A and B are shown apart, each in its own frame.
Chain A
């Protein structure tokens, strides 16, 4: 009987020569079969065998194992293995769940994977080996506690009050759970970056209502131990299931040792960068994402080497004084007893907490509140993810359905004609579906069938921006990159750039005066400029500038090859400063978590870049050349359009700002041209998340243009009573009339940014401050404002300025609200007329 069963086993009894470790690491799908096996034997070996009397065991051997004790041992070994494999499955599930949670955290809050993992690590370190059952809830609780205590401790550190320890105890004593950070194990080094994340997130919300869950309170279940799945440990086999928690912690200890030894080495190098590293052993924030996606090899480098604080996009936070300064300036002293007057001007999460505590609301109530908030937050995020999942599924399903319909028609009707129309489907072969464009340029393919999904897609983008995991997929199509992409062409371009470089180098060596033809000279000129900018592109990002190992990151070389290839692909355009930043940001897409079906490669980014340059950025019709010119070739036209934005639309729709700018003699066009030329990158009030979302909008066609286009035109003709004469002109000149939709988007985005900032700008009431906030700046604005406001006659005091900066961070929901408003009201006809009148 047992031998029959053994055949179903993954680890057959008779195969005792097989290395158990190898078996152990085999796919864990065995759990189903092994559990059925478990039902058929009288007991699980290993479980309670030791409780049996020797005579019972002997009997057992006699009955079940044909008097062969070896069989029993084998059986026991199998059971252990089975348990292990179940454990692996469990861990894997935990791990996947954790990954999902981390993704959520990353997508909807400002926490990076590293930050999250760091917290989990800390937590794990603090808690005694948790029992499997309530581990999740414990982690949730301690996350909240940590969030609370982080604030308090860091506040204490900042204020250097002598009573700080007392206060800490006072605050934390009502807490039902042991608060770990009270024990001063948290190092300031750890706190500051985390603080910055929480404060930057919570700053936006008004202090009275904690509408937005602060990142630390997002519950994370499952232990970091799930990582063991990827690192089979010989210990696991030897130990009994009951001791599994011990080897888990053992593994941690060993990894800690590893990290500290690495750290010790690193800290030598990094002394100048981060003094804290040399004295503090920081736990390694393990990058879970990278472990699960071997497709992104360069990420794994982070696993062992990262000790500095790196955010989800790979930016070094620690090196950036901005964040720490902001925190110091905005966080209040600890919630001391009534002697301390409440701090009114700061608006951080700590303050709302402080107020809660001052109002004598018990801490556990606060914790419950936080739990609730995080729950709601998670629910919302999950809901959005579900909506996305559902929509993408629907779109896919409809696409394949239509594909099938077509195939039927294809067989039934005209062979050639249909083939002509379905150019994407050249082979009519299911295997070629991967090469098909489901969405198409700006999502327009979706309109081929019916517009339900299209409308859903646009509404969802307006609601949340494209979900990170789908952004790669959608951008690749929306940008036209997928369509443009020709196999092998990118490699050819790279090869050609190499050839030109070599040629120029050799000619330089031979004779400086060797004639280089014009095109190549232009290319070399561009290459020189690119070389100047490569090191100046995202220099604070791990993927571009690996400050840990003091070498360029992988994206540095990708950026170089993409830009080189571009100037060979489009020598007539060439390289413009700012393209480096665009490609830089696009390359960050590579390192984002995504659905596994579409991991973008360097080549794909190149084609997305080309698509954006050619299709997405607004074009201008040059009537003398009788052709469209690309965004970068149209500076004079852009300047003209900025005049329209200023003197027509700003005046009309945001009159308060228009008046303010006139009063203070502010030339808003000089500011906006920076926004346009830098494609909204690196603006003080637009963070990277928002930038991606702005491009989500740019990359999808406007719903209004399609659905209400006719309506809109009629409206406008009514408005423009005296434009009759012009209308003829317009009709005569179709090209000029065809103002690209995305120009209107640029108009709308620009105006909505100003509209969102309106209230803050009005309060500034200072020529300089407004320029500093609104002008593109590679400088850190915080410090400028500090030095400036302290040293001069400005009306704003320094404690206000940092609060102002946080207020200036635009929220997507605000932006999109105004964007939709403006987008409906700005029309091509209007723009054309204004252009004429300005000329």
Chain B
């Protein structure tokens, strides 16, 4: 599984954190991704919940395992967030397309991640509750404008954008596939091979990612 040669199945493991305003559907997205179900009776998350799920990227013959930290949304727990996004390779900043405030909140998270999280962290800006299109408050065009503005400010670190519905499942897997493609899989696997350890053990997740930024940016272009 940890073979680094491109023609056999490769395996890598990454830490992913979900951030976003309360009740935008972070847990539901994870639940959809991990179990492919939607639960109307979801309890609010306190602290954070831990889950894992793997995806296959056929084009690179890679299995990527996500260690997911699904955090609590309330503003008041914000001070705990660094604990969870520390060493994270990817972050889902989730907003609710029917709530403008949640979109603003997601932008704040992106700002914070860029400032404080691991350099090269793959960020996805995800609008949930696509099934409530009729109540939409955040237009896709707005999101695009925000992204353009961000990439102008930034040094080319692209943000993946996507909309989904955890309720009916639309677009959820796409998000994780996009993130998977954007992640520096090769770097991690090579680094692991060089050190003679199996790839994807947790220690590898956050290491040597600074080098991966170029590659990651290239990969990010291909999705969404």
Contact = CB atoms under 8 A, between A and B. Distances in A.
Contacts of B73: 577
A552 interface: no
Nearest to A545: B41
B74 interface: yes
Nearest to A528: B22
19 contacts: A539-B41, A539-B42, A545-B41, A577-B74, A577-B76, A577-B77, A635-B77, A636-B79, A673-B47, A673-B83, A678-B47, A771-B50, A775-B47, A777-B50, A779-B35, A784-B52, A792-B52, A792-B54, A793-B1
A576 B65 CA distance: 33
Category for how many chain A residues contact B: 35 or more
Tell me if B's interface is mostly helix, strand, loop or mixed. mixed
B203 A665 contact: yes
B202 A767 contact: yes
Contacts, number: 114
Nearest to B78: A635
A732 interface: no
Given A578-B46, A580-B44, 11 more contacts: A536-B42, A539-B43, A577-B22, A577-B46, A635-B79, A635-B80, A674-B46, A681-B46, A775-B49, A776-B49, A792-B65
B210 interface: no
Nearest to A671: B50
B80 A787 contact: no
Nearest to B44: A536
A143 B31 CA distance: 40
Interface in A550-593: 574, 576-578, 580-581
B72 A788 contact: no
A733 interface: no
A783 B54 CA distance: 15
Interface of B: 1, 11, 22-23, 27, 31, 34-35, 40-54, 65, 67, 72-74, 76-77, 79-80, 83-84, 202-203
Interface centre among B31, B41, B65, B79 (most CB of A within 10 A): B41
A778 B42 contact: yes
A768 B67 contact: yes
A677 B43 contact: no
A577 B54 contact: no
A314 to B, nearest CB: 14
Contacts of A635: 77, 79-80
Given A775-B50, A787-B35, A577 B44 contact: yes
A741 B162 CA distance: 50
Contacts of A540: 41
Contacts of B11: 793
Interface string A777-797: 111000110011001110000
B30 to A, nearest CB: 8
Nearest to A673: B47
Contacts of A775: 47-50
Interface centre among A319, A545, A576, A632 (most CB of B within 10 A): A576
B49 to A, nearest CB: 5
Contacts of B27: 778-779
Interface in A653-687: 665, 669-670, 673-674, 677-678, 681-682
A772 interface: yes
Contacts of B46: 577-578, 581, 674, 677-678, 681-682, 776
Contact of B84 (A576, A670, A678, A777): A670
Contacts of A533: 22-23, 44
Interface string A400-441: 000000000000000000000000000000000000000000
Interface string A521-543: 00000000100110011111000
Given A665-B203, A670-B83, A778-B42, A788 B47 contact: no
A731 B65 CA distance: 53
Contacts of A681: 46
B203 to A, nearest CB: 6
Nearest to A682: B43
Contacts of A539: 40-43
Contacts of A791: 54
A682 B49 CA distance: 11
A656 B76 CA distance: 35
A768 B53 CA distance: 11
Contacts of A529: 22, 74
A775 B34 CA distance: 17
Contacts of B80: 635, 639, 673
A678 B27 CA distance: 16
A580 B203 CA distance: 36
A677 B42 contact: no
Interface centre among B27, B54, B76, B79 (most CB of A within 10 A): B76
A532 B79 contact: no
B74 A779 contact: no
B51 A576 contact: no
A261 B76 CA distance: 50
B69 to A, nearest CB: 8
Nearest to A638: B80
A345 B30 CA distance: 32
B26 to A, nearest CB: 11
A777 B43 CA distance: 10
A670 B73 CA distance: 16
Nearest to A636: B79
Contacts of A537: 43-44
Contacts of A776: 45-49
Contacts of B41: 319, 539-540, 545
Contact of A532 (B22, B50, B83): B22
A319 B39 CA distance: 11
A769 to B, nearest CB: 10
Contact of A677 (B23, B47, B53): B47
B202 A665 contact: yes
A632 B77 CA distance: 10
A524 B25 CA distance: 22
Contacts of B31: 779
Nearest to B84: A670
A771 B47 CA distance: 13
Nearest to B67: A768
A795 to B, nearest CB: 13
Interface string A307-325: 0000000000001000000
A665 B65 CA distance: 17
Nearest to A669: B83
Given A536-B44, A577-B72, A580-B44, A779 B49 contact: yes
A792 B55 CA distance: 11
A784 B44 contact: no
Interface centre among B44, B48, B65, B83 (most CB of A within 10 A): B44
